[in-house]
Homo-oligomer: A and B are copies of this chain.
Amino acid sequence: MKVSEIGQFPLINKISQLIDDCKDNSVSWQNTIEAAGDDCAVWLGEDVKYFGKVDCQVESVHFNLDVISWQDLGRKALAVNLSDIASMGGLPRYAMVSLGLPLDTEVDDVMSLYGGILELAKETGTAVVGGNISRSLVIFIDISLIGAAGNPAGNYLSRSSAKAGDLIAVTGSLGSAAAGLRLLTGRDQTENTQYDSLMQAFLRPEPRLKEGILLEKMGVKAAIDISDGLLADLDHICSASKAGAKVYLKELPVLPALRNAFPENYYEMALAGGEDYQLLFTAPEPIINKVIENCDYPVSVIGEITEQSEERIQLFDESGRIIKTDKLGWDHLKSR
């Protein structure tokens, strides 16, 4: 059945039933007074710092249904927002989901999309309290998310707190999602289970929420999530912190599968591929060591913060020579 056959309100009712099944004892749901069913969602405010973020996935710009399933698309649309909450050291609370759907969209596909959103919402303690459905020529999934500071005193991770002398570190590995997308688009390697980790990195990114909370607890002040690509996001930190950075190519964490699949250009993917949704953070060495000691998830030191200089980021190759790079990630508005 298509959304044009079922109509707006019955479709919303079906979605509301899915959401009802997700309610649990998380702080978010406990504080929720109304989720859908009235003009607004209603929740009990807390005397904390709140974080707000909105991010949108647009068909044929951010995703292509040849490559990603509706379920994974739903998960990912929420994951990219959760990743921003993670990079502040926050706990997710409330999500509102605004969908744009062509009239011939299958109702079952909308249910799968919501299934993916709600699956990750449940895993992360997020209450999906509201939403909207609009007719549209292209599919879009716009999710706004409200989080609360993980630190009761309200401290949080910011882009502007990096200091000269800080080490630069990242969680997990880089470039996998960009490689996964290329494999999925090329289609020649999708059956190769050796590359599953790369494709999964693109299809099902895991927001580093636990790690964000841990970083803040260990005393880290500066962090960002890597969505535009390592260099672009490090540039955001340098710009906001009025600092420079040195990055050592040989320290970049990349999966063996990435090196195997793209021996020629895996560095490029790790530096500028984007969509890693890992955390990039800076702190003095003792704090970084404490993080590494206490974190269950891999953390790699990749460089250091310097005083502000003309060339904001200096990149060193294996033999210690500076290499030029002008590929600072991806500007999805600018014509190429």
The smallest C-beta distance from A180 to any residue of chain B, in angstroms, reads 21
Known A-B contacts A38-B240, A56-B132, A146-B146; A47 and B50 likewise in contact (beta carbons under 8 Å): no
State which of B11, B40, B131, B332 has its C-beta within 8 Å of the C-beta of A51.
B40
Of A40, A43, A46, A132, the most chain B CB neighbours within 10 A belong to A40
Chain B residues, CB < 8 A from A220: none
Binds B, one of A64-72, A156-164, A185-193: A156-164
| Interface residue ranges of A97-114 to B (CB < 8 Å) | 97-98, 100-101, 103
CB pair B225–A39 under 8 Å, yes or no, is yes
Contact: B8 with A332, CB < 8 Å?
yes
Q: Are A138 and B135 in contact (CB under 8 A)?
A: no
CA distance A142 to B100 in the complex (A): 10
Interface membership of chain A positions 255-287, coded 1 if the CB is closer than 8 angstroms to chain B and 0 otherwise: 000000000000000000000000000000000
- Determine how close the nearest CB of chain B comes to the CB of A282; give it in whole angstroms: 14
A159, B4: Cα distance in complex, Å: 26
Assess A135 versus B85: contact at CB under 8 Å? Given A38-B158, A130-B53: no
CB pair B134–A332 under 8 Å, yes or no, is yes
Cβ contact within 8 Å between A332 and B135: yes
- Report if A33 contacts B (CB, 8 A): yes
Q: Does A310 contact B (CB under 8 A)?
A: no
* Chain B residues within 8 Å of A224, by CB: 39
Structural contact, A159 and B38, CB atoms closer than 8 A: yes
Cβ of A42 within 8 Å of any chain B Cβ, yes or no, is yes
Query: A322 near B: Cβ within 8 Å?
Result: no
Inter-chain contacts of A97 with B (CB < 8 A): 54
Q: A38-B240, A147-B40 are in contact. Are A132 and B55 (CB under 8 A)?
A: yes
The answer, yes or no, to whether A216 is at the interface (CB within 8 Å) is: no
Indicate if the CB atoms of B334 and A54 lie closer than 8 Å. Answer: no
B333 touches A135 (CB 8 A): yes
Contact status of A58 and B240, CB under 8 A, knowing A52-B41, A96-B144: no
Residues in B whose Cβ lies below 8 Å from that of A159: 37-39
Distance between A161 CB and nearest chain B CB, rounded to angstroms: 10
The reply on A18 being an interface residue by CB < 8 A is no
- Which residues of A come within 8 Å of B, CB atoms? 3-9, 11, 33-34, 37-56, 58, 60-62, 84-85, 87-88, 90, 94, 96-98, 100-101, 103, 129-138, 140, 142, 144, 146-148, 156, 158-160, 224-225, 240, 331-335
20 more A-B contacts (CB under 8 A) besides A40-B87, A44-B50, A142-B142? A4-B333, A4-B334, A4-B335, A8-B334, A9-B331, A37-B160, A38-B159, A40-B85, A45-B47, A45-B48, A52-B146, A54-B130, A54-B132, A54-B144, A55-B132, A58-B100, A58-B136, A101-B333, A135-B333, A136-B140
